[in-house]
Structure formats: C-alpha cells, structure tokens
Structure 1
C-alpha cells in the first residue's frame, strides 16, 4: 500500500511543500496532487513529479491538478463537439497530429456541474511529453466558457495503436 508519507517525500524532492495544496491517496494506489496556481516552472515540475511518482511500488493513476480561480459562466452551453474541436488545437509535437485525430481521446463526459472528464492515452507509455500533453489538454478545455473544471485520466488500457488515427490523417500520413 502506497503511503502519504512516501508520496510526499518524492513530491518534496521536486517542488517546495508550500506549493502543494492537496494530496490524496486512493485505496487502489491512485495519487491526486493539487498544486498552487503560482507553482514556478510548472511544466518541469509536472514532468519530474510524474517521473518520481512512477518509481513508487504499487502506485496507480497519477493525477496532478492546479488550483483554479476561474469564474464559470453558468449560462454558457458546453458540448462534446466544442470540446473535441478545442482539443484539436493540442498537437503531439513528435508526430505533428492533434490528440483527437491521433485517437488519444478514449472517453469524454460533461458532468452536470460542467466539469469535463477526459480519459486518454499516449502513443507509448514512455512518451517524454506525457505531462506536457495532459496539461495542454486540460488548459484547452478550461478555455471553453462554461467549463467549471477538467479532470484528465491517463490510461494505457487498451494500448494505443495506429489503427486509432482518423481516416483523414491516415491518408495524410500515408498509412492507407
């Protein structure tokens, strides 16, 4: 069983404790960390935190959130199509194709409180840009008026394959 102390030790090796606003450990070994919105060098912190936490035996899903102070327009409509269009702005820099057309988005739900849940994957479990892409997905979703929050879950089950690429991009990439 993963302990809070064990996780906090790894976290403090990466970021000053004053920027850690929350730490939860689930019974399944999942870890949720909430960082202050003013955490310096956030991209580097996200990558290093993810790398360090993966070293802990028995750890499950890793979720790293940032504090939000966004005002939500309760009257704004939020649709699945709007979100998918916005996510097409997140380009995998190594491949040059967006996360939607790459087939990285496995599930997308808009909850009644206007929190958007996305379950997604990477092209490989060792993708060095994982945390950057996850953050970009979260940031793009939060740009949509009416979205209260974004919850991004990373999964590798089922593993991604090139079959998941949209037909349009299979043609552009010469996979047909």
Structure 2
C-alpha cells in the first residue's frame, strides 16, 4: 500500500509543500494531488512531479489537479460537439495535429453536474509532453462557458496507432 508519507516525500522533492492543497490515495493506490493555482513553473512541476510519483512501487493512476475559481454559467449549453471543437485547439507540438484529429480522445462524457470527463491517450507512453498536453486539454475544456470542471484520464489501453488519425489528416500527412 502506498502511504501519504511516501508520496509527500516525492512531492516535496519537486514543489514546496505550501503549494499542495490536497492529497488523496485511493484503495487501488491511485493518487490525486491538488496544487495551488499560483504554483510557480507549473508546467515544469507537472512533468517532474509525474516522473517522481511514477518511481513509487505499486502506484496506480496519478491525477494532478489545480485549484480553480470558476463561476459556472448554469444556462450555457455544453455538448460533446462544443467540447470536441474546443479540443481541436490543442495541437501536439511534435506532430502538428490537434488531439481530436490525431485520435487521442477515446471517450468524452458530459456529466449532469456539467463536469466534462475525457479519457485519452498519447502517441507513446514515454511522450515527454504528456503533462503539457493533459493540462492544455483541461484548460481548453474549462474555457467553455457552462463547464463546471474537467476530469482527464490518461490511458494506454488500447495503445494508440496511426489508424486513429482522422481521414482528413491522414491525407494531409500522406498516410494512406
């Protein structure tokens, strides 16, 4: 069983403890950490924190959230189509294609409380931009009026393949 002390030791190696606003460990050894919205060098912290936490033996899913102050426009409509269009603004910088047309989005659900759940993957498990892309997806979803929160799950099952790229982008990239 993963302990809070073990996790906090790894966390403190990356970020000052004062920026840690929450830490939960699930029965399946999944970790959820909430960082302060004003955490300095957040992109670097996300990447390094994820790498440090993965060193813990028996670790489950790692979720790193940031505090938010968002007022939800209760009357605004939130649809899958609106969310997917917004996610087309998140471009994989190494490939130059957005996460939707690249086929990285496996599942999208809008919950009754207007939390948007996304299950997605990366082109490879060792993608150095994983945390940056996950954060960009979360940020874009939270820009949509009416969205209360975003929950992003990273999976590698099934593994991504170029077959998942949209037909339009297969043509643009010369993949037939």
The TM-score by the shorter chain falls in which range?
Answer: over 0.9
Indicate the residue corresponding to 1:111 in structure 2: 111
Secondary structure of 2:13 counterpart? helix
Alpha-carbon distance between aligned partners in 2 of 1:160 and 1:77, rounded to the nearest angstrom: 31
Is 1:162 aligned to 2:176, yes or no?
no
Is 1:145 aligned to 2:145, yes or no?
yes
CA displacement at 1:2 relative to structure 2: 1.1
Alpha-carbon distance between aligned partners in 2 of 1:3 and 1:103, rounded to the nearest angstrom: 36
Alpha-carbon distance between aligned partners in 2 of 1:168 and 1:97, rounded to the nearest angstrom: 11
Indicate the residue corresponding to 1:102 in structure 2: 102
Secondary structure of 1:14 counterpart? coil
Gaps of 5+ in 1: none
Indicate the residue corresponding to 2:28 in structure 1: 28
CA displacement at 1:27 relative to structure 2: 1.0
Indicate the residue corresponding to 2:78 in structure 1: 78
Indicate the residue corresponding to 1:122 in structure 2: 122
Alpha-carbon distance between aligned partners in 2 of 1:12 and 1:4, rounded to the nearest angstrom: 12
CA displacement at 1:105 relative to structure 2: 0.3
Counterparts of 1:39-78 in structure 2, within 5 Å, are: 39-78=39-78
Offset from partner CA, 1:124-162 (integer Å, 9 cap, x none):
000000000000000000000000000001011111011
Indicate the residue corresponding to 2:2 in structure 1: 2
Alpha-carbon distance between aligned partners in 1 of 2:105 and 2:11, rounded to the nearest angstrom: 28
Q: Which runs of 4+ in 1 moved over 4 A?
A: none
Offset from partner CA, 1:34-56 (integer Å, 9 cap, x none):
00001011000000000101111
- Please report the TM-score for the alignment, with normalisation by the length of structure 2: 0.99
Alpha-carbon distance between aligned partners in 2 of 1:34 and 1:13, rounded to the nearest angstrom: 16
- Please report the TM-score for the alignment, with normalisation by the length of structure 1: 0.99
Offset from partner CA, 1:102-139 (integer Å, 9 cap, x none):
10000000011100000000000000000000000000
CA displacement at 1:4 relative to structure 2: 1.1
CA displacement at 1:60 relative to structure 2: 1.1
Alpha-carbon distance between aligned partners in 1 of 2:125 and 2:2, rounded to the nearest angstrom: 21
Matched residue pairs, number? 176
